Amino acid sequence: GDSVTQMEGPVTLSEEAFLTINCTYTATGYPSLFWYVQYPGEGLQLLLKATKADDKGSNKGFEATYRKETTSFHLEKGSVQVSDSAVYFCALTDSGAGSYQLTFGKGTKLSVIP
Amino acid sequence: DVKVTQSSRYLVKRTGEKVFLECVQDMDHENMFWYRQDPGLGLRLIYFSYDVKMKEKGDIPEGYSVSREKKERFSLILESASTNQTSMYLCASKSETGFLNTEAFFGQGTRLTVV
């Protein structure tokens, strides 16, 4: 079946530091890839997405590029802020197994300190 | 503003009680999901539904059942609550149209404590 593997956290960074959260996937079909963010006390919300190879998703200064050759979708931000403290989930949707699948990684908790 | 609404933010129930968690979406989505979220384990799919009265087991259905009598409402039922079902429960919905490329919308979660 499909799976998503994220780097384990928690990750603690100082404000204005560079952020990378690694994400790799396995899929039977040709998936679309997503990053969701969960702020404290809230549900998940979409941060960005990419639907085909070499697409770059971007939002709020975050970026991720769909790399089919390395089956990866790493999340990056050049300068993090305290308000970016949250849990980040990499996810995919796929139809390769004959039915639609929605699969999440385990999440990476980011804490940004002033 | 699109919405997925879960009926309770916090619940405390006793062991053995029958517990109902309700989720309502206003986007006319065909697909609805129930996940539980636990530290170190991420989101695990309990059940999903792709149409009214249709349901499919997810990865951890044991001890749970679901009901979808109307398109907008998806209920999760704990038949006899146990302490190992203490968790955060998240409901989500997703359109069937463009399923692969469109986002899932989540409720704010219900933090259930079973004592």
Which pLDDT tens digit goes with each residue over A32-88? Answer: 999 999 999 889 999 999 999 999 999 999 999 999 999 999 999 999 999 999 999
Q: How far is B108 from chain A (nearest CA, A)?
A: 4
For residue A32, list chain B residues with Cβ-Cβ distance below 8 A: 100-101
Give the integer Cα–Cα distance in Å for B82 and B88.
14
Q: What is the pLDDT of residues B4-53, one digit of tens each?
A: 999 999 999 999 999 999 999 999 999 999 999 998 888 999 999 999 99
Q: What is the pLDDT of residues A18-35, one digit of tens each?
A: 999 999 999 988 899 999
Of A32, A36, A42, the CB nearest to B101: A32
Of B41, B100, B107, the CB nearest to A93: B100
Quote the pLDDT of residue A8. 83
Side-chain-facing half-sphere of A93: CA atoms under 13 Å: 19
Q: What is the pLDDT of residues B85-106, one digit of tens each?
A: 999 999 999 988 777 788 899 9
Quote the pLDDT of residue A96. 62
Give the integer Cα–Cα distance in Å for A108 and B105.
20
Over residues B70-88, mean pLDDT: 97
CA torsion, ordered B16, B48, A27, B42, to nearest 10 deg: -40
Note the residue count of chain B. 115
Q: Kindly state the DSSP code that residue A82 receives in the 8-state scheme.
A: G
Q: What is the pLDDT of residues B56-65, one digit of tens each?
A: 999 899 999 9
Other CB atoms within 10 Å distance of the CB of residue B72? 17
Give the model's confidence band at B69: pLDDT under 50 very low, under 70 low, under 90 confident, else very high: very high
Of A43, A95, A105, the CB nearest to B106: A43
